[in-house]
Structure 1
């Protein structure tokens, strides 16, 4: 589905229900609405939403600790994938956290998730290690990626 009126904004606690809907459509073990409410209310996080009109179609978020940020999740509703929404979201998130003094970012990604790995490589993330059996739904390892040159 092609977004008609694509826009981006920071997540607020009242967005938790809409973000939970995206989460459930994208992950086998989704975070709860309460988790997103807490994330949006925290000063140590940065979450950005993608909207098609008023509808939340994706999000990206991270935890911030001093000069480092850990990307927690990036999710786009399946009908909107393949249209560079995730690329735009991640680029905007990186710019936002740089303004908050972040100089390095990290994340974990499934080896089987080639589109996500390509997206992260596009933004300068490089493989730095593996977390064995990281994902609880199927025991898949996680590749640890870092970008230390923001």
Structure 2
């Protein structure tokens, strides 16, 4: 297990085939309805997708992905391995997604987050996202509302 400070030693790279098994395992660790390896692999073929992986010493410690269509960018997923949370990895991933969104011509970046996921909400707010609405009953396992958060680029 690394010391508390990790972010400076983390590399953010484009998702590749070699990451898929670790990402599928990370999904199972982090989400009640995880994406499959096949679902993650399909994102590699999607021209609207930008999926990034955080690596620490050749170990996958997180990932984030989004889709850009016209001037809209939507975050599909963000996950950081539980043993590596609170070390700046989520911020690094979000900063690189934002860069990718801007390079793709997006006017804003939006996402949804579980109403109970206060840690994720704090991360997104620290990155400049603002709550714009609520999607009632968006999530299952357990059933829960989702907050709509958006960051507009100037």
- The TM-score, its normalising length taken from structure 2, stands at 0.91
* Cα distance in 2, alignment partners of residues 36 and 14 from structure 1: 12
The root-mean-square deviation of aligned C-alpha atoms, in Å, is 1.5
CA positional deviation for 1:118: 1.3
2:73 aligned partner: 69
Q: Which residue of 1 aligns with 2:143?
A: 139
Does 1:50 pair with 2:57? no
Partner of 2:120: 116
Q: 1:89 aligned to 2:93?
A: yes
Contact 1:13 1:38 in 2 (8 A): no
Distance in 1 separating the partners of 2:51 and 2:27: 13
| Deviation beyond 4 Å, 4+ runs, structure 1 | none
Q: Does structure 1 retain, via aligned residues, the 8 Å contact 2:67–2:73? A: yes
Number of residue pairs matched by the alignment: 150
How far residue 5 of structure 1 moved from its aligned partner, in angstroms, is 4.2
5+ long unaligned stretches in structure 1? none
Aligned twin of 1:17 = 21
Tell me which of 104, 108, 123 is aligned to 1:100. Answer: 104
Q: Does the 8 Å CA contact 1:51/1:58 hold for their aligned counterparts?
A: yes
Give the Cα–Cα distance (whole angstroms) in 2 for the partners of residues 137 and 84 of structure 1: 28
Q: Distance in 1 between matches of 2:148 and 2:63?
A: 20
1: CA distance, partners of 2:23 / 2:60: 7
Query: Does structure 2 retain, via aligned residues, the 8 Å contact 1:14–1:37?
Result: no
Conserved in 2, the CA contact under 8 Å of 1:15 and 1:37? no
Counterpart-to-counterpart distance in 2, 1:146 and 1:93? 13
SS in 1 for 2:141: coil
CA drift of 1:82 comes to 0.8
**Mind listing any 5+ residue stretches in structure 2 that lack a counterpart?**
none
Q: Quote the residue 1:38 is aligned against.
A: 42
